[in-house]
């Protein structure tokens, strides 16, 4: 949550920090601030967006070292005072922080008793005051930070500067990501590579418990025991261009439109036409191991969880292994039974979602075998897992997930095909799925061509106070993701239900004012779904059907017809019209599509 950027080198820090913060704005955007060091610390911070901050930073804001932050409020409302950085009372130490300090109240009381004057309601400010006290007795800033952090209970990614040491930035990580960027006689740090790729592709991810000192000529990393650690830089293949809107009005529309290409990238080099199997080199499992699992348990948060539901369905159908998905945020708190013959799969676009990471760590502690389906190479979840599948979908910037969702579902189809073909799935069915997967990119293009029609439908339905999304079995996770997209970006209330459950309660909500989006593929449940539509229409409910054919006007007011694939793969295609529907509803309602209120792209707090 929130974004951090730090710079030390020969150039003016402020423009670099502002540019980096703009790249991180999707992580949090209720307030922003920066501080540079130049014969003392100079700070600007405001409630609002990075653009508002840029407007108050003077053109001459000299200083070649600095730290910046864009915030998603946890402790204290969005305000100028609560924005980061936070300074010590003597304005010697400045801190930016992501994460949550759980013992902040207790530390604050002690520090206040000791004369510290707090000016914000944040948990972070305790760190500034703590470090200001330890820095006096320490030989180095890193020692002062390390000593202060020993008193902290909670999670953090931090960057700290000291006015009296104008050549160095100290960063540390525990639960909130920090990545270093190595430049030419300059160093960067950020909470996400998005802020770095404009300047360098050489990065180093800090592990939990690690701390690093950055100077213009290099960096040193230390483990929790204060000993130096050796780190190999990694080259990231994401480019600055990935972070531009590329002529689209919003990142969301750009990312929806990229799906033919991103799905093709997830598939590239992974389908074997000879044996009709998928090759997933990163699984780190031989065929014997792949055969040994009796259950698959999938965890993830938000859209990642819904794509996991599609994944569970694919694994049960193609590999005939019992599989289910659960929100990682629930899984980690319920003391799950971890079984040796269960394969655990963690899903995360960012690879940094704290609830998912904590669930993976708990699984590992208990001896579970965990695969990651992750988009961000080298991210915390990817590093923590025993193996996995990278999506190669390129960075996803808009808060609402689209291309990562479809690529995750495709990755699950590959995993299910792989697990199926080393078990009972026939070569003929393997071939059917391989061919179906290859058809996806072109079929997605066909669906994207329906955008004018879907926009009209969005304009028609956007004024609904509430919408119902229903689907059966394969269609149910699609309905859930459709409802999720609509609420996230248009703020229209949306509920998703299995179509079969409608008559057991939610039918009471149906009436002319609550339209239903029904996912109705041409599968073995078609007739049952059409019966449900009849029940909705009989209560005066309006129906927008998304499926493979147009329905009798008695059953549906409107239909979006998508191309057919293999029934197991249809959910991937059925999702795409719902993304466009949510997008155009949000635009029609004048919403901030890429940065919806109250949300953030990666939730790196509990
Ligand atoms: C946040 C975002 C969601 C996203 C979820 C999981 O809640 O707002 O859009 O689906 O995190 O993110 P991940 O990076 O783990 O896939």
Question: Residue 601 catalytic?
Answer: yes
Which atom number of ligand 1 is nearest to the Cα of residue 599?
8
What is the distance, to the nearest Å, from the Cα of residue 380 to the centroid of all Cα atoms in its chain?
Answer: 12
Residue 552 DSSP code: P
Candidate of 596, 602, 604 to mutate for ligand 1, largest count of ligand atoms within 8 Å of Cβ: 602
Tell how many helices (H) and how many strands (E) occur in the chain: 18, 27
Share of the chain above pLDDT 90, in %: 81
The pTM of this model reads 0.82
Task: Note the pLDDT of residue 1.
Answer: 59
pLDDT-derived band of residue 580, with 50, 70 and 90 as boundaries? very high
Q: What angle do CA 474, 572, 254 make, to 5 degrees?
A: 145
3-class secondary structure, 560: strand
What is the distance, to the nearest Å, from the Cα of residue 552 to the centroid of all Cα atoms in its chain?
Answer: 40
Nearest CA to 45 among 97, 83, 5? 83
> Taking all residues of the chain, what is their mean pLDDT, rounded to a whole number?
93
Residue intervals in the chain for CATH 3.40.50.10490:
446-593
User: Using an 8 Å Cβ cutoff, are 517 and 529 in contact?
Assistant: no
Which atom number of ligand 1 is nearest to the Cα of residue 484?
9
Pocket flag, ligand 1, residue 350 (CB < 6 Å): yes
Task: Note the pLDDT of residue 464.
Answer: 94
Structure tokens of 264?
């093709």
Share of the chain above pLDDT 70, in %: 99
User: Using an 8 Å Cβ cutoff, are 72 and 1 in contact?
Assistant: yes
pLDDT tens for 385-440 read: 999 999 999 889 898 999 999 999 999 999 999 999 999 999 999 999 999 999 99
Nearest protein Cα to ligand 1, atom 3: 302
Task: Note the pLDDT of residue 603.
Answer: 75
Residue 242 has pLDDT above 80, yes or no: no
pLDDT-derived band of residue 237, with 50, 70 and 90 as boundaries? confident
Which atom number of ligand 1 is nearest to the Cα of residue 600?
8
Asked: is 3-235 a CATH 3.60.20.10 domain? The reply is: yes
pLDDT tens for 278-331 read: 999 888 888 889 999 999 999 999 999 999 999 999 999 999 999 999 999 999
Catalytic residue from among 485, 487, 595, 601 = 601
Give the pLDDT mean for 181-207: 94
CATH code for 446-593?
Answer: 3.40.50.10490
Catalytic residue from among 2, 301, 434, 559 = 2
Give the pLDDT mean for 73-84: 86
Nearest CA to 409 among 272, 314, 319? 314
Task: Note the pLDDT of residue 28.
Answer: 67
pLDDT tens for 437-495 read: 999 999 999 999 999 999 999 999 999 999 999 999 999 999 999 999 999 999 999 99
Nearest CA to 570 among 410, 429, 451? 410
Pocket flag, ligand 1, residue 422 (CB < 6 Å): no
Task: Note the pLDDT of residue 286.
Answer: 86
Residue intervals in the chain for CATH 3.60.20.10:
3-235
Question: Residue 301 catalytic?
Answer: no
pLDDT-derived band of residue 176, with 50, 70 and 90 as boundaries? confident
């Amino acid at each position: 949550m929130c974004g951090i950027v730090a710079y030390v080198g020969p150039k003016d820090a402020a423009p670099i920090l502002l540019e980096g913060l703009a790249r991180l704005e999707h992580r949090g955007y209720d307030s922003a601030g920066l501080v540079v060091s130049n014969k003392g610390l100079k700070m600007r911070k405001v409630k609002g967006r990075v653009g508002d901050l840029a407007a108050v930073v003077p053109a001459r804001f000299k200083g070649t070292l600095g730290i910046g932050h864009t915030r998603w409020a946890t402790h204290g409302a969005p305000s100028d005072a609560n924005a980061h950085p936070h300074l010590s009372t003597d304005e010697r130490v400045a801190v930016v922080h992501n994460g949550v300090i759980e013992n902040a109240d207790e530390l604050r009381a002690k520090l206040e008793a000791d004369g510290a004057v707090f000016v914000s309601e944040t948990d972070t400010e305790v760190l500034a005051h703590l470090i200001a006290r330890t820095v006096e007795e320490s030989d180095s800033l890193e020692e002062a930070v390390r000593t202060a952090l020993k008193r902290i209970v909670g999670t953090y990614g931090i960057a700290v500067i000291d006015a009296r040491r104008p050549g160095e930035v100290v960063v540390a990580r525990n639960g909130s990501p920090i990545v270093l960027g190595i430049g030419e006689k300059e160093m960067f740090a950020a909470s996400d590579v998005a802020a770095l790729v404009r300047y360098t592709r050489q990065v180093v991810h800090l592990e939990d418990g690690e701390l690093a000192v950055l100077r213009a000529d290099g960096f040193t990393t230390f483990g929790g025991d204060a000993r130096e650690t050796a780190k190999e830089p990694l080259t990231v293949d994401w480019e600055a261009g990935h972070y531009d809107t590329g002529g689209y009005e919003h990142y969301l529309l750009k990312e929806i439109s990229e799906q033919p290409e991103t799905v093709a990238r997830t598939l590239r080099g992974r389908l074997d036409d000879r044996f009709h199997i998928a090759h997933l080199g990163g699984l780190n499992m031989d065929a014997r191991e792949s055969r040994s699992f009796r259950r698959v348990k999938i965890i993830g948060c938000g859209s990642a969880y819904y794509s996991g539901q599609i994944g569970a369905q694919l694994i049960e159908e193609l590999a005939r292994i019992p599989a289910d998905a659960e929100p990682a945020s629930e899984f980690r708190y319920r003391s799950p039974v971890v079984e040796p013959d269960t394969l655990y799969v963690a899903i995360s676009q960012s690879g940094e979602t704290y609830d998912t990471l904590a669930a993976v760590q708990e699984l590992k502690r208990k001896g579970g075998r965990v695969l990651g389906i992750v988009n961000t190479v080298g991210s915390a979840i990817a590093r923590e897992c025993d193996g996995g599948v990278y999506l190669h979908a390129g960075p996803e910037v808009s808060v609402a997930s689209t291309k990562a969702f479809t690529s995750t579902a495709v990755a699950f189809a590959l995993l299910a095909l792989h697990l199926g073909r080393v078990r009972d799935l026939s070569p003929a069915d393997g071939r059917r799925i391989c061919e179906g997967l290859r058809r996806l990119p072109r079929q997605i293009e066909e669906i994207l061509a329906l955008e004018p029609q879907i926009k009209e439908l969005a304009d028609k339905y956007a004024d609904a106070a509430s919408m119902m999304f229903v689907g059966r079995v394969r269609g149910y996770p699609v309905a859930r993701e459709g409802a999720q997209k609509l609420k996230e970006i248009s703020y229209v209330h949306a509920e998703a239900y299995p179509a079969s459950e409608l008559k057991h309660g939610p039918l009471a909500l149906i009436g002319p004012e609550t339209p239903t989006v029904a996912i109705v593929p041409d599968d073995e449940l078609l007739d049952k779904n059409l019966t449900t539509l009849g029940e909705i229409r009989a209560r005066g409910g309006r129906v927008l059907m998304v499926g493979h054919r147009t329905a009798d006007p008695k059953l549906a007011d409107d239909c979006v017809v998508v191309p057919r694939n293999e029934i197991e793969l249809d959910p991937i295609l059925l999702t795409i019209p719902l993304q466009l529907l949510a997008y155009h509803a949000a635009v029609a309602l004048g919403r901030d599509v890429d940065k919806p209120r109250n949300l953030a792209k990666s939730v790196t707090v509990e």
